[in-house]
Amino acid sequence: MSYTYFSDPVGGVATATVATATTTAATTVATPVTTATTAIATTATTATATTVNPFTVTILSNHNESKLLQGLAGELIKVPWIRILSEEHPSTDLLLVVGDSLFLHETLKARTSTYRVWVYLLQRYETLNPDHVATINAKADRVFATHREWRTLQRGQGITRPLDVLPIIVAAVATVATVATVATVATAVASATVPSAAVVPITRQNGRALLSIPEDVFLILSMSRNTLHKRYDILIQAFVELIVKHPQKPIFLMCVCDKGNLFDLFADELKRKGAVIADFSNRLLVSARHDSLSDEDIGLFYKIADCGVSCADGGALGLCVLEHMAHGIPQVVSNIVAHRDICKADNSILVEPVVRIQVAGEFVQLVSPSSVAQALETYVLNEPLRKGHGLAAATAATAVHGLATATSSIVKRLDLLRQERDIDAAP
């Protein structure tokens, strides 16, 4: 892999690429994150042809939920009588539609099904479009929310169908955490006395050696996609405020996302603060690849960071935050529904939103850059607190979201549907 850094050559601002070591797979390579359809179809092939009266679940979703669907399909397919398909088929017993309210609305509004329809509502903001609510109430037999607070909010927004909680994101968390602790270190680390072909646990130390990141660097990590609701504009402002206040401390921000206009934002904000760009030109790191990373790569990024950060103004899952916490890394996050289900005062720093604005009919809550900078500064200056929060974060990520708990409810309900179907089909 490689990463790019911000620089200030003669003639203006530009980016440069720094080659780094790559991890090689001497053992089984984890399944890469692919499209949702591919992930489900691949998982479905493990179903045996000898299953008696299989119950067929067709899962439809948009491509953004591929990782989530790998976890869901991977758990459901372990049940001998469940078969998972990614397209509707004459044998389909249940249609499960996964996505935000707009995707559910567009998928279901003109649909007439002869079988049951369940939806997994990935709600981003605390308000729902009334038209979307009407479609869900009219077309869905059951609704699943990601956790209890979303269920309460969805009921308050007018969802009248039966509501369950399905925290299936944990499957993806378990996968990443496992892979990250049993990865193969490349030849480039041989200088650090690690044999080139050895399989060793990925740690902060050898992970940083692999990516040529000094041990004394305080590394802040953002794994969010570079989309508007992730609020990289706020994050960049907060980061610049932090490093200008502490210019002698080696504080760096790594963003694993499409670079977009991040470097321009960084340069503009440094100028606004009256800082000399050349003094901070290498502080912002952006991964050269972001949409084709293996689980090993993702786990490596998680391991080398000192803290994670998310200024998102909304979201359904907080998957990257939860994954990072599973590695024992504390988080600085906006206090929104997606984050506060797992982020608590003893494992993270929750930043309170200071303004509520309307965007495209949705009310969003924004944190202030200064508040985020102060929260990050707390971890920079207070190592015992940061490490204590990290230990608590790992415990919370693994204890609260157990696999058995995550899938038991939906499996029980699927079994009831299967029994009902078999009784109706009996002579």
Give the start-to-end residue ranges of the domains of the chain.
Answer: 36-169+403-425, 201-399
Q: What are the tens digits of pLDDT across the range 15-56?
A: 332 223 323 222 222 232 233 333 344 344 444 444 468 999
Residue 335: per-residue pLDDT: 95
Contact status, residue 16 vs residue 5, Cβ threshold 8 Å: yes
Yes or no: say if 166 and 120 are a contact pair by the CB < 8 Å rule. yes
* Regions in the chain scoring below 70 on pLDDT: 1-52, 63-68, 168-200, 290-291, 360-361, 399-406
Q: What angle do CA 228, 234, 239 make, to 5 degrees?
A: 135
CATH code given to domain 36-169+403-425: 3.40.50.11930
Evaluate whether 301 touches 277 at the Cβ level (below 8 Å).
Answer: no
Q: Pick 201-399's CATH classification: 3.30.420.40, 3.40.50.2000, 3.40.920.10, 3.30.540.10.
A: 3.40.50.2000
- Distance from C-alpha of 418 to C-alpha of 93, rounded to nearest angstrom: 8
The residue type of 293 is L
318 by DSSP, 3-state: which?
Answer: coil
Residue with tokens 């692999």: 210
- Which pLDDT does position 397 carry in this prediction? 84
Count H helices and E strands in the chain, helices first: 15, 18
Three-state secondary-structure class, residue 174 = helix
Determine the pLDDT at residue 247. Answer: 96
Burial of 130 by CB count in 10 Å (0-12 exposed, 13-18 middle, 19+ buried)?
Answer: exposed
Q: How many CB atoms lie within 10 A of CB 190?
A: 14
As beta bridge partners, residue 15 has 6
Amino acid 319: pLDDT: 81
Question: Is 328 in contact with 391 (CB distance < 8 Å)?
Answer: yes
Contact 144, 166 (CB under 8 A): yes
Is beta strand 183-184 parallel, antiparallel or unpaired with respect to 199-200?
antiparallel
Per-residue pLDDT at 67: 65
pLDDT at 214: 94
Q: Per-residue DSSP letters for 19-53? A: E------SSPPPPPP--HHHHHHHHHTTS-TT-SS
Tokens 């991040």 belong to which residue?
262
Which amino acid belongs to residue 346? Answer: D
Non-local (6+) Cβ contacts of 344 within 8 A are 350, 392, 396
The DSSP-derived string for 248-279 is TS-EEEEE-S--TTHHHHHHHHHHHTT--GGG
How is residue 135 written in tokens?
């479609």
pLDDT at 52: 65
Q: What is the pLDDT of residues 384-416, one digit of tens each?
A: 999 999 999 998 887 655 555 667 788 999 999
Listed in sequence order, the residues at least 6 apart from 228 whose beta carbon sits closer than 8 Å to its beta carbon are: none
Task: Judge whether 36-169+403-425 and 201-399 match in fold.
Answer: yes
Which residues neighbour 328 within 8 Å (Cβ) at sequence distance 6 or greater? Answer: 390, 391, 393, 394
* Secondary structure (DSSP) of 214-235: -TT-EEEEE---SSGGG-HHHH
Q: For residue 182, what is the DSSP state? A: S
Query: Residue 209 in 3-state DSSP?
Result: helix
pTM for the whole thing? Answer: 0.76
Residues in CB range of 152: below 8 A, 6 or more apart: none
Q: Which of helix, strand or coil describes residue 78?
A: coil
